[in-house]
Amino acid sequence: MKTTVLFLLMGALAWGPAARAQTGCPDPQATNYDPAARRNDGSCQYAPTTAALPAKAPLDAAVPETSGLQLAAGALWTFNDGGNPPVLFRVDSATGRATQQVRVVNFPNTDWEDIAADGRYLYVGDFGNNYGDRRDLRLLRVPRAGLGPAADTVSAQAINFYYPDQTTFGRSLNNHNYDCEAVFFRNDSLHLFTKDWADHRTRYYTVPATPGTHAAHLKATFDVNGLITAADVSPDGTAAALLGYDETTGATFVWLLSDFPGTQFLRGNKRRIALPSAALVGQIEGVCFAGGRRLLVSNERVTVGPLTVPQRLYALNVGPWLPAPAVVTAAAAPGPRAGLRVFPVPATRTLRVERAGAGPGALALTLLDLRGRAVATGQLPAGAPAGALSVAGLAPGAYVLRAEGPAGVVSQKIVVR
């Protein structure tokens, strides 16, 4: 069956080579937004942003020290922190109730801290290192096929690793940079983000997702102004989240990473969202994406004097702070192979849309803001070679033009000046 995709021929027709290559901050939400930027150089800066962390459900009494979260094929997995039994808990994300317990029979829980997943395995990060003296850092590769509803035990394989830049291993409680509590899987690798007690930065390493012993490869460092306790990447790989807190102030936060090239997660937008104080939400230790625009977060049970913050599951909508996805979808119905031309770029008052040939059907045109809200609509009637959308009165910035017709659907970034 043939499929046809319409193409919006914007860049090659509207901009010369020099303009296309111009770098800067292309995010209109940033305080240093540059409308002329065509390539993100990671320089975007943002005004302070604060968000509530709505509670979704209490967590089961069996997981008072929940230290990681991962959704895999609809199942939500967590576990207790180091020193507890080596048990994975399947949790009902609606009620927080533990519905299954699976013990890893061939490895202890030395210091389990985070969990990741690919299509075949869960990866449990046994890499917590409070004193900085561990020489047995590893991730446990657990086959998802062994975690069926009736399973209560499973065997794992070890992915051992070490930091080549660590040369001393003396005991130094919470005063070094070789602790780690955050990992996710992407493109055949495990991506680790350290919890740097000494300088409140994070160092980003990669490790192959295969059993054996590996040197962790240092990719980048980033000043997160706190301690990173968990990480995850969105299902489509276009966004990542680093969860953390500041042990000196009780502040909690999540860093949202987006618009990065490939898997260079620290080379795109980096936006910090301040969350409620740990006095209200506890020590937040687990995070995972539930879809592309929502996070699930969990906290350990904490008791300080008369104050107890119980373990809970939270849900956070991060859509308002992430770019709207540009999605190209091919339709099943055949259609013309003629392309579309959209101009001028950037637009000021009117955005004109032309197609080569009259075309067999109408095109519905919708202009969306970066929160996915329609701000302008129009139509290219059947048989008409051209149409227009008014953008007068719109705030300057980036939008997404959606063109839908018999041949398919195309979404493409548009800049309004």
The mean predicted confidence, pLDDT, of the chain is: 87
Confidence (pLDDT) at 387 = 81
Task: Please give the Cα distance from 15 to 145 (Å, whole number).
Answer: 51
The conformational region for residue 256 under phi > 0 = left, psi -120 to 50 = alpha, else beta, is beta
Summarize pLDDT for 264-320 with one digit per residue, the tens.
Answer: 999 999 999 999 999 999 999 999 999 999 999 999 999 878 889 999 999 999 999
Task: Please give the Cα distance from 266 to 247 (Å, whole number).
Answer: 23
- Do the beta carbons of residue 335 and residue 358 sit within 8 Å? no
CA dihedral sign, ordered 12, 17, 21, 27: negative
Confidence (pLDDT) at 358 = 55
Confidence (pLDDT) at 325 = 57
Find, among 204, 274, 212, the residue nearest to 49 by Cα: 274
The conformational region for residue 99 under phi > 0 = left, psi -120 to 50 = alpha, else beta, is alpha
What is the pTM assigned to this prediction?
Answer: 0.77
pLDDT of 4 over the 60 cut: no
Mean pLDDT of the region 220-229: 98
Summarize pLDDT for 175-195 with one digit per residue, the tens.
Answer: 999 999 999 999 999 999 999
Instruction: Identify the band that residue 340 occupies on the pLDDT scale cut at 50, 70 and 90.
Output: confident
Confidence (pLDDT) at 334 = 30
Cis peptide before 344 (omega within 30 of 0): yes
Percent of the chain whose pLDDT exceeds 90: 67
Domains and CATH numbers, the chain: 11-16+325-416 (2.60.40.2550), 59-321 (2.115.10.20)
